[in-house]
Structure 1
Amino acid sequence: MVDSQGGQGGQALLFLTDDQLRKGIEAMFFAYRGFTADPDRILEGMAYGRAHHRAIHFINRSPGTTVNNLLSILGVTKQSLNRVLRSLIEDGLVESRVGKKDKRERHLFLTEKGALLERELSDAQRERMRAAYRAAGPDAVAGFRQVLEAMMDEDMRRHYATLKDRQV
């Protein structure tokens, strides 16, 4: 079997040239632009950006998550996350509840309005992913996910593992 780089099977992947790696890096940049373009258009009229989208996504995936957990997942400053959360709470998309065990904790939940926006954003991205996955085929999908997981830092891989197994 000859792969797309002209090599035999998976063996050619063990010896990627700098040019092949550069092409992969560029493909990742352009794919990311496509992946974020649809939600960006939806959020544009709401004065929200990607940080809002990411917060909404992960609050949806882990209802009741704490602000500290969200900080760890997003890798942003507390000040930056507070600005994002303040606007989402003020606009009625996110609800912050005081912890039952620890009153200092704030647990985050999407409101009905927040869940509707999250669904609109994720539907746009799922549509793009579904089309790409169909075009690439099941082996490529599995390989793509394996590559993405291998690129994650260890702490991000732990966060991903806890989300991956959740059914929402």
Structure 2
Amino acid sequence: MQEKARIQTMVGEDLLFLTDDQLRRGIEAMFFAYRAFTADPDMILGEMDYGRAHHRALHFINREPGLTVTALLAVLGVTKQSLNRVLRTLIEDGLVESRIGRRDRRERQLHLTQQGTALERRLSEAQRARMRAAYRKAGPQAVSGFRQVLEAMMDPETRAQYQAMKELPEDR
């Protein structure tokens, strides 16, 4: 029997029953939300002949200056060849610097230049504004629930990477 989401409370546990149609609507909401979330950065990136991979690289390098290429590979979950194309462009365009590691000279540590920091800020400003407005509209309980849903969707390795990123200082 198809019905709206029904919460059934049993002794000590809460069970949530969702129909296939409700799950499909949730999936569609994620698709449309992601499209809206990436629309502003996509316009800026398109003007520069960059793609979303460039934005993700800039974001995570900004989040953790000195991030190694190996660590960035792990965070992004892309191939070395794909990341090298993105980094080569960002370095050639003066947005990212690749420095030799202090402890291990074989490591390449990544840092944004002033120009890279300015572009990352420009790309992220609209996304922060969109998230801020949505969070305010939805309220604190919804924000907490949203994060819980996103974290529950992550596989254990991805969740561990995310948890490690949460431990970094917030403002850069």
The normalised TM-score by structure 1 is 0.92
Secondary structure at the aligned position of 1:109 is classed as: strand
Give every structure 1 segment of 4 or more consecutive aligned residues whose post-TM-superposition deviation is greater than 6 Å: 9-13
Q: How much is the aligned-residue C-alpha RMSD, in angstroms?
A: 1.7
Cα 1:39–1:55 change in 2 (3 A) is same
Residue 146 (structure 1) aligned to one of 128, 148, 155: 148
Q: Which of the two has greater strand per residue?
A: 2
CA distance in 2, matches of 1:26, 1:48: 26
For structure 2, the residue ranges without an aligned partner over 5 or more in a row are: none
CA distance in 2, matches of 1:8, 1:77: 42
The normalised TM-score by structure 2 is 0.90
Cα 1:67–1:10 change in 2 (3 A) is farther
* Corresponding position: 1:86 with 2:98: no
Aligned residue pairs total 164
Query: Does structure 1 conserve the Cα–Cα contact (< 8 Å) formed by 2:96 and 2:113?
Result: yes
Secondary structure at the aligned position of 1:124 is classed as: helix
2:19 counterpart residue number: 17
User: Which deviates more from structure 2 when the two are superposed, residues 97-106 or residues 24-33?
Assistant: 97-106
Residue type matched to 2:133 in 1? A
Secondary structure at the aligned position of 1:60 is classed as: helix
Could you report, residue by residue, the CA deviation over 1:113-152 in whole angstroms, capped at 9, with x for unpaired residues? 1000111111110011111111111111110000001111
Percent of matched pairs sharing the same residue: 70
Query: Does structure 1 conserve the Cα–Cα contact (< 8 Å) formed by 2:99 and 2:109?
Result: yes
For structure 1, the residue ranges without an aligned partner over 5 or more in a row are: none
